[in-house]
Structure 1
Amino acid sequence: MSGPVAVLVGPPGAGKTTVGRVLADRLGVPLHDTDAAVEELVGKPVADIFVQDGEAVFRGLERQEVLRALHEEEGVVALGGGAPVQEEIAEALRGGGLPVVFLDVTIADAAGRVGFDVSRPLLLVNPRAAWTRLMNARRPVYEELATVQVQTGGRSPDEVADEVLALLGLTP
């Protein structure tokens, strides 16, 4: 095996980490969450990196980690919501032959999951409007890069994982 078995993309609240954990468990592979990897590297939460160091610093760290993960990780890789919008990452996803799964969600379902709390730095001011603006900008990128697209709203992580596995032709 070389490279991830699945790369999960989507907006905050889509369930990338949660569904990723279910997929990884079922397939017997590790889950690699790139936001968590950046937090571990820097020693502070993503929200603190945004506030203390700025978005540009975070995006640089994110780009480095995602590109590394796409080449070196062999399990399920969950990307931060904004990662695919970075051109170098989008190009790696386009040309890498990787199974990219767009986990789609409505704002109502996303709000119920993340509560638009302070751990989501781009959603701090007017979270619903910010989420909608981000999603409107990112949706075309998610859709273009996706091998498959799965709705997560109103569904359990197990149900979403079932569909992802079926669409990608993966068997646990």
Structure 2
Amino acid sequence: MADSKKGVSNARESRLVAALDGRPIVLVGLMGAGKTTIGRRLAKRLAIPFRDADHEIEAAANMTVAEIFAQHGEAHFRDGEKRVIARLIDEGDQVIATGGGAWMNAETRDLVARSGISIWLKAEFNVLMARVRRRSHRPLLKDPDPEGVMRRLIDQRYPVYAEADVTVMSLDAPHEQIVTSVIDAIEHHLAQADKD
């Protein structure tokens, strides 16, 4: 029975990848939304590559994101981020996890709108704070008021994240449940696009 169910599931995922027709799935959202964690599992379910834009930027620059910010400033980092995301999108079938600020760039949003499917992993404030506190490398935690920083980021970025093709709630739930919600939402989005 398990094999039969897995076969049905694999057929569903294969149909979804075929329907995407080479368009990458681009995950956007704040730090702690689960872009990397959910992105890896989504890519595995769909049997396509996973790429983390921040990791790609670090590899290209041979420095960490924090080092790039410290040595060259945010504008330099954002310019490199925009170029890396454009390169990844050109590579087709894959799941791309972007940094929290990447979607704020209008050129990046336009490129994704033309060539990919954007998914906003939306999480509530308390969920985000619980998750980022588990990771000591988050720059947010270096601020004396991390809650204030997170609330400001939510106020600034959520209206822009809302421009993504699809919104999926990143709940405090099993990862596979969120992955299934993403797959459901992409299928619904593609079905609606076919009707238009």
1:71-150 matches, within 5 Å, as: 71-96=90-115, 98-115=116-133, 119-121=137-139, 124-125=142-143, 126-144=145-163, 146-150=164-168
**Larger-gyration structure (1/2):** 2
* Gaps in structure 2 of 5+ consecutive residues: 1-20, 189-196
Contact 1:116 1:127 in 2 (8 A): no
1:161 corresponding residue in structure 2: 179
For the pair 1:151 / 2:185, whether they are aligned, the reply is: no
Matched AA of 2:48: V
What CA distance in whole angstroms lies between the structure 2 residues aligned with 1:43 and 1:114?
A: 25
2:8 corresponding residue in structure 1: none
Percent identical: 36
For the pair 1:67 / 2:86, whether they are aligned, the reply is: yes
TM-score, normalised to structure 2, is 0.79
Matched AA of 2:23: G
Deviation at 1:90, TM superposition (A): 1.5
Contact 1:47 1:118 in 2 (8 A): no
1:58 corresponding residue in structure 2: 77
Q: Which structure carries more helix by proportion?
A: 2
1:28 corresponding residue in structure 2: 47
Q: Secondary structure at the match of 1:56?
A: helix
2:30 corresponding residue in structure 1: 11
Deviation at 1:110, TM superposition (A): 1.1
Deviations 1:97-141 (A, max 9, x none): x22111001121112112185633356322211111112111111
RCO comparison, higher one (Cα < 8 Å, 6+): 1
What CA distance in whole angstroms lies between the structure 2 residues aligned with 1:51 and 1:15?
A: 25
2:7 corresponding residue in structure 1: none
Do the aligned partners of residues 15 and 88 (structure 1) sit closer, same or farther apart at CA in structure 2, a change above 3 Å counting?
same
What CA distance in whole angstroms lies between the structure 1 residues aligned with 2:42 and 2:69?
A: 29
Do the aligned partners of residues 121 and 60 (structure 1) sit closer, same or farther apart at CA in structure 2, a change above 3 Å counting?
farther
Moved over 6 A (4+): none
Do the aligned partners of residues 160 and 168 (structure 1) sit closer, same or farther apart at CA in structure 2, a change above 3 Å counting?
same
Q: Secondary structure at the match of 1:169?
A: helix
Contact 1:116 1:124 in 2 (8 A): no
* Gaps in structure 1 of 5+ consecutive residues: none
TM-score, normalised to structure 1, is 0.89
Q: Secondary structure at the match of 2:40?
A: helix
